[in-house]
A and B are shown apart, each in its own frame.
Chain A
Amino acid sequence: MSDVLAAGELRLLAGTEQGRPLDFAGHLAIHGELSLPTKRKDDQWRSAMLGAIEASGLTGRGGAAFPTAIKLKGAMGWKKRPIVAINLMEGEPAAQKDSVLAAFAPHLVLDGAEVLGAILDAAEVVIAVARDNPGAIDSLNRAILERSGTKRSRVDLKIVSPPGRYVAGEESGLAAWLDGADARPTFRPDRPAILKVGGRRAYVENAETTADVALIARHGGQWFAGAGGGLGTALASVSGAVFESGVFEVPLGTTLGSIVARAKPRGRITGLLLGGYGGTFVGPDALDAPWSNDGLRPYGGAVGAGVIVVFDDSSCGIAEIARITQWMSHESAGQCGPCAFGLPALATDLMLAANASSSGRLENRLTGLLAAIDGRGACAHPDGVARMVRSGLRVFAADLAGHLGGRRCAASSSPTVLELPKNDEVLEWR
Chain B
Amino acid sequence: MALRLRVDPIACDGYGHCAEIAGELVTLDEWGYPIISDEVPRRLVEIAELAVRQCPRKALFLEKFEPRR
- Interface positions of A (Cβ within 8 A of B): 186-187, 189, 335-339, 341-342, 372, 376-378
Report how far A336 CA is from B11 CA in the complex, Å. Answer: 8
Name the interface size band of chain B.
10 to 19
Chain A nearest CB, measured from B33 CB (Å): 4
Q: Which residue of A lies closest to B14 (CB)?
A: A337
Report how far A134 CA is from B66 CA in the complex, Å. Answer: 47
Residues of A within 8 A of B33 (CB): 336-338, 376
Q: B10 touching A336 by the CB < 8 A rule?
A: yes
Report how far A187 CA is from B30 CA in the complex, Å. Answer: 22
Residues of B within 8 A of A187 (CB): 8-11
- Interface positions of B (Cβ within 8 A of A): 6, 8-14, 29-33, 35, 61, 63
Instruction: Among B6, B13, B31, find the residue whose CB has the most chain A CB atoms closer than 10 A.
Output: B31
Chain A nearest CB, measured from B44 CB (Å): 21
Residues of A within 8 A of B63 (CB): 189
Q: B30 touching A337 by the CB < 8 A rule?
A: no
Residues of A within 8 A of B11 (CB): 187
Q: Which residue of A lies closest to B59 (CB)?
A: A187
Q: Which residue of A lies closest to B8 (CB)?
A: A187
Q: A337 touching B6 by the CB < 8 A rule?
A: no
Q: A338 touching B8 by the CB < 8 A rule?
A: no
Q: A186 touching B29 by the CB < 8 A rule?
A: no
Instruction: Among A187, A337, A338, A376, find the residue whose CB has the most chain B CB atoms closer than 10 A.
Output: A337
A-B complex: 8 closest residue pairs judged by Cβ atoms? A336-B9, A337-B33, A341-B31, A335-B10, A187-B8, A378-B10, A187-B10, A372-B29
Report how far A269 CA is from B35 CA in the complex, Å. Answer: 39
Report how far A94 CA is from B19 CA in the complex, Å. Answer: 41
Q: A338 touching B10 by the CB < 8 A rule?
A: no
Residues of B within 8 A of A335 (CB): 9-10
Chain A nearest CB, measured from B55 CB (Å): 14
Q: Which residue of B lies closest to A340 (CB)?
A: B31
The majority secondary structure among interface residues of chain B is loop
Q: A372 touching B30 by the CB < 8 A rule?
A: yes
Once A189-B63, A337-B14 are accepted as A-B contacts, the answer to whether A377 and B31 lie under 8 Å apart by CB is: no
Report how far A187 CA is from B60 CA in the complex, Å. Answer: 12
Report how far A335 CA is from B10 CA in the complex, Å. Answer: 5
Q: A378 touching B8 by the CB < 8 A rule?
A: yes
Query: Can you list 13 A-B pairs with a CB-CB distance of less than 8 A?
Result: A186-B10, A187-B9, A187-B10, A189-B8, A336-B10, A336-B12, A336-B33, A337-B14, A338-B9, A339-B9, A372-B29, A376-B35, A378-B8
- The residue that B29 contacts in the complex, of A189, A338, A377, A378, with Cβ under 8 A, is A338
Residues of B within 8 A of A336 (CB): 9-10, 12, 33
Q: Which residue of A lies closest to B12 (CB)?
A: A337
Report how far A372 CA is from B30 CA in the complex, Å. Answer: 9
Chain B nearest CB, measured from A298 CB (Å): 24
- The residue that A338 contacts in the complex, of B13, B31, B61, with Cβ under 8 A, is B31
Q: Which residue of B lies closest to A342 (CB)?
A: B31
Q: B6 touching A377 by the CB < 8 A rule?
A: no
Residues of A within 8 A of B35 (CB): 372, 376
Report how far A337 CA is from B32 CA in the complex, Å. Answer: 8
Chain B nearest CB, measured from A100 CB (Å): 34
Residues of B within 8 A of A186 (CB): 10
Chain B nearest CB, measured from A361 CB (Å): 15
Given contacts A336-B33, A337-B14, A372-B30, 19 further A-B contacts (CB under 8 A): A186-B10, A187-B8, A187-B11, A335-B9, A336-B9, A336-B10, A336-B12, A337-B32, A338-B9, A338-B31, A338-B33, A339-B9, A342-B31, A372-B35, A376-B9, A376-B29, A376-B33, A378-B8, A378-B10
Residues of B within 8 A of A338 (CB): 9, 29, 31, 33
Report how far A186 CA is from B14 CA in the complex, Å. Answer: 18
Residues of B within 8 A of A342 (CB): 29, 31
- The residue that B6 contacts in the complex, of A189, A341, A372, with Cβ under 8 A, is A189
Report how far A377 CA is from B12 CA in the complex, Å. Answer: 11
Q: Which residue of B lies closest to A184 (CB)?
A: B10
Q: Which residue of A lies closest to B61 (CB)?
A: A189
Report how far A338 CA is from B8 CA in the complex, Å. Answer: 12
